[in-house]
Amino acid sequence: MIGSIDPLLLIASLMVASTPILLAAIGELVVEKAGVLNLGVEGMMIVGAIAGFAAAVESGSPLVGFVGAALAGAALSLIFAVLTQVLLSNQVATGLALTLFGIGFSALIGQGYAGRRPPPTPKLDFGPLSDIPVLGPVLLRHDPVVYVSILIVAAVWVFLKYTRAGLVLRAVGESHDAAHALGYKVVRLRVLAIAFGGACAGLGGAYLSLVRVPQWTEGMTAGAGWIALAIVVFASWRPWRVLAGAYLFGGVTVLQLNLQAAGVAIPVQYLSMAPYVITIIVLVIISADRRRAAQNAPASLGRVFHASS
């Protein structure tokens, strides 16, 4: 029964299952590194999912869909940016508002799109490379977005670690007052970071509706945005660990789906709750090591910045 699960296929589908969460989490990592806690990931993801779906269906091109999703996610995140950075609202409350609004708004736009099929996203062809045993089917037979998501992780890592702008961004996240005193534009930088996070979350949502499922249903993100937030904590705000975390959760999701399909004698509902339970367990384990958790969290995370002069 369990033997019917093919490990190669499992790993290959794991990469697909992880990509939405990976995209959303790497975006949120940049936002949090800039000292902003945006709890609206779920809302931006689901708006990205429907915006990307609608754009792809109407234009017939998945590329247009993904671009549209990134723009929609960024546009929605700008509401958050204006509220928290200009009007100095509470970030937790504003993020929640973004999620609640996003879920309703996406259902509203999504009305004529239920049951329709999006244009297929083509898989990249690596020619003979895709036929290498083991490696080929696992790594080299995916659609471009899977590779783009990994490239984004690499780019974020290089940006944060090796560029001057990345250093400034981290400085803003650690101490906005000091960064402000040095003449850096705290608000401008944070708005840009928030928009980047929104675009990534939008992409992640579109990957769900265009590739992973591929269909539009109301509330289809089902907590993926919240899991992405948890992964950022799990990763201790480090880009490559976000990748590891996302693939771990993708693995759990795929495994429980496979167990369901294999007909294991556990009620479906208990298998379906596994990703959420494991998220909690992992969060607890990571947070238990308080010293390390405290070291890595950006010091100004979630605090309102108001330049008094």
Partner 1 sequence: MPRLERRPTPSRLWTAATPVLAVIATMFAGGLLFAALGKDPVEAIRTIFWDPLFGEFASYSRPQLLVKAGPLILIAIGLSLGFKAQVWNIGAEGQYIMGALAGAATGLAFYPGDSPLLFPAMVVIGALGGGLWGLIPAVLKLRFGSSEILVSLMLVYVAQHILSAAAFGMLKNPEGRGFPGSRNFQQFPAAFNGELIAGTGMHWGVVAALGSVIAAHVLLSRHILGFHIRVAGEAPRAARFAGVSPALLTSVCLGISGALAGLAGLFEVTGPAGQISTDFASGYGFTAIIVAFLGRLHPLGILLAGLLMALTYIGGELAQLTLNLPSAAIQAFQGMLLFFLLAFDVLSNFRIRLARRARA
The residues that touch partner 1, with contacts defined as CB under 8 A, are 39, 79, 82-83, 87-90, 92-94, 96-98, 100-108, 110-111, 218, 222-223, 226-227, 229-230, 233, 267, 269-270, 272-273, 276-277, 279-280, 283-288, 290, 293, 306, 308
Closer of 148 and 283 to partner 1 (Cβ): 283
Instruction: Look up tokens 């204006």; give the residue.
Output: 82
Q: Exposed/middle/buried for 82, CB within 10 Å: 0-12, 13-18, 19+? A: middle
Q: For 141, which DSSP code?
A: S
Closer of 164 and 290 to partner 1 (Cβ): 290
Query: Rounded to the nearest whole angstrom, what is the least distance from the CB of residue 148 to partner 1 in the complex?
Result: 27
Query: Rounded to the nearest whole angstrom, what is the least distance from the CB of residue 217 to partner 1 in the complex?
Result: 12
Query: Rounded to the nearest whole angstrom, what is the least distance from the CB of residue 133 to partner 1 in the complex?
Result: 39
What does the alpha-carbon distance between residue 242 and residue 230 come to, in Å, rounded to a whole number? 10
Closer of 163 and 287 to partner 1 (Cβ): 287
What does the alpha-carbon distance between residue 33 and residue 292 come to, in Å, rounded to a whole number? 16
Query: How is residue 138 written in tokens?
Result: 């696992």
How many CB atoms sit inside 10 A of residue 270's CB? 10
Closer of 15 and 79 to partner 1 (Cβ): 79
Query: Rounded to the nearest whole angstrom, what is the least distance from the CB of residue 11 to partner 1 in the complex?
Result: 25
The answer to whether residues 256 and 276 touch, using CB atoms and an 8 Å cutoff, is no
The answer to whether residues 20 and 210 touch, using CB atoms and an 8 Å cutoff, is no
Closer of 165 and 277 to partner 1 (Cβ): 277
CA angle 70, 76, 78 (to 5 degrees): 105
Query: Rounded to the nearest whole angstrom, what is the least distance from the CB of residue 164 to partner 1 in the complex?
Result: 28
Instruction: Look up tokens 């754009």; give the residue.
Output: 55
Closer of 41 and 140 to partner 1 (Cβ): 41
Query: How is residue 74 written in tokens?
Result: 């960024």
What 3-state class would DSSP assign to 238?
Answer: coil
Query: Rounded to the nearest whole angstrom, what is the least distance from the CB of residue 1 to partner 1 in the complex?
Result: 21
Closer of 9 and 270 to partner 1 (Cβ): 270
The answer to whether residues 298 and 237 touch, using CB atoms and an 8 Å cutoff, is yes
The torsion angle over the Cα atoms of residues 204, 205, 206 and 207, rounded to 10 degrees, is 50
Query: Rounded to the nearest whole angstrom, what is the least distance from the CB of residue 203 to partner 1 in the complex?
Result: 22
Closer of 165 and 299 to partner 1 (Cβ): 299
DSSP 44-113: HHHHHHHHHHHHHHHHS-HHHHHHHHHHHHHHHHHHHHIIIIIS---HHHHHHHHHHHHHHHHHHHTGGG
Query: Rounded to the nearest whole angstrom, what is the least distance from the CB of residue 138 to partner 1 in the complex?
Result: 29
